[in-house]
Amino acid sequence: MTDDTGRRKVYIVDGSRTPQLKSRGKVGPFTAGDLAVAAARPLLLRHTFPLDALDEVILGCIMPGEREANVGRVVALRLGIPQSVPAWTVQRNCASGMQSVDSAYKNIRNGDADLILAGGAESMSHAPVLFNHTMVNWLGELMRSRSIGQKLKTILKLRGRHFKPVIALLHGLTDDTVGLNMGETAEVIASKFNISRREMDEFAMNSHHRLAHALDAGYLDEIEVLYDDKGNFYDHDDGMRADSNMESLAKLRPAFDKKYGKVTAGNSAQITDGAAWLLLASEDAVKKYQLPVIASITDTQWAGLDPAVMGMGPVHAMTPIMQRHGLGIDDIDYWEINEAFATQVLGCIRAWNQDDYCADNLGLDKAMGEIPYERLNIDGGGVSLGHPVGASGARILLHLCKVLQRKQARRGMASLCIGGGQGGAMLIHNEAL
């Protein structure tokens, strides 16, 4: 089946993810590759197509392990996918998982592929702690020392400053072009849209409560159980706080602007490890391998904006899609906007509801309107279950498919802000309706 432009229709036929495991100041039990393998194996086992039917494997990841260069290829081979199937890794910061799906979508749409495994993985607890340049230079000098005397002379140069670590995660979450880390950009949005600390904490509390309800109700059946090498198992997103309340959240101190800030650890996405996959197919592949269909992809969009307000990326990416298809707020049944920060999602809601912002920044004649909270992130989001950066784009797409199925709803929109000042969005359709 093709659309009016002659492009082929692309289906999401299945998906799976790991639980998202909170980093608690220590290295977690799984690398990004481990997580990706654990999420993909049961997904592939559910289907009867031969693994060499896959045209490619695409994985989004920002910080693969030191032994996982081109982690997409490493994972594909660990899964037993034939060597003849190409596999590659993409990096678009917070939207790496969505970028992998978008790349798969366009390759199938354009007739270059029929069946692709696409997703994202991130083990943020494994983010490297590096030697600083002073230590690297000292080690180089030590390696060049030949005699015992030279080595002793070099050793005596060792000072405390050599041991100051470079924490990759902190640097990775900082935009050097504007000199702000991601939390500071969230503070900019809070100020710009006059979002109160109470509003942010209430949003965070509700994210936890929604996730707890979804878990109790069995709405998270996309999760595959993880097992570590010590016999422990992990079957749910372990950062969830079902008892979250306004009183406890109010006690938390600002994390970024210590004196005047509103953004805290409690109303920000948790640092977590996780992976998610989607299996995408053409109509030919669906028929040939008798695959189920859970959704189709209608359109995608990427947008750029000021890195200082990177959290506004979703409205910049979603707006062109809405315009191309002549859609209004009420035409979208459910929304997934990644919760990097509570204030970032609230800022997007406010921006779309303001005539001035829409006219000055989005090229609209008037406000788009307000996204109903009862149709947004209805089973929680990044604040409650975490944001494993490379995986989140794939996770929100997968869960949106599940929501549309459960609610017997037609259209869904998934979107993320992206560090560095970008936004990504994808419009999907429930093929059962």
- Annotated active-site positions, please? 94, 417
Residue 106 corresponds to which amino acid? K
Separation of CA 253 from chain center: 26
Are residues 433 and 295 in contact, defined by beta-carbon separation less than 8 angstroms? no
Using alpha carbons only, what angle is made at residue 86 by residues 82 and 91, rounded to the nearest 5 degrees? 130
Cα–Cα dist 121/72, whole Å: 9
DSSP string, 153-182: HHHTT--GGGG--EEHHHHHTEETTTTEEH
Q: Within 13 A of 211's CA, how many CA atoms are on the CB side?
A: 25
Q: Report the 10 Å Cβ neighbour count for 9.
A: 18
Are residues 263 and 200 in contact, defined by beta-carbon separation less than 8 angstroms? yes
Are residues 289 and 47 in contact, defined by beta-carbon separation less than 8 angstroms? yes
Cα–Cα dist 104/119, whole Å: 10
> How far apart, in Å, are the Cα atoms of 387 and each of 22, 254, 262, 280, 335?
9, 19, 20, 23, 17
Q: Are strands 295-304 and 422-429 parallel, antiparallel or unpaired?
A: antiparallel
Q: Report the 10 Å Cβ neighbour count for 351.
A: 25
Buried b (16+ CB within 10 A) or exposed e, 199-226: bbbbbbbbbbbbbbebbeeebbebbbeb
Among 55, 43, 60, CA closest to 109: 55
DSSP string, 287-355: HHTT----EEEEEEEEEE--GGGGGGHHHHHHHHHHHHTT--GGG--EEEE--SBHHHHHHHHHHHT-H
Cα–Cα dist 386/392, whole Å: 9
Among 270, 264, 230, CA closest to 246: 264
